[in-house]
Amino acid sequence: MVCPRCRTRRLWQLASGRVRCAGCRYTFRPR
């Protein structure tokens, strides 16, 4: 799984099943 914006794999697991990118701070819900 990668960030859809900056394509890095450095992601934080958040509550409610969301993921945040450590690089560009983009928060998204993985498919």
**Burial tier of 21 (Cβ tally within 10 Å: 0-12, 13-18, 19+):** buried
Sheet holding 19-21, edge to edge: 11-13, 19-21, 27-28
* Alpha-carbon gap, residue 18 to 21, rounded angstroms: 10
Cα–Cα distance for residue pair 17/29, rounded to 1 Å: 7
Q: Which domain holds residue 31?
A: 1-31
Would the pLDDT of 28 be above 90?
yes
The structure's pTM equals 0.74
Name the domain count of the chain. Answer: 1
User: Which contacts (CB < 8 Å, 24+ apart) does range 20-24 have?
Assistant: none
Average pLDDT over the chain reads: 95
Q: What DSSP state is assigned to residue 30?
A: -
pLDDT in tens, 6-16: 999 999 999 99
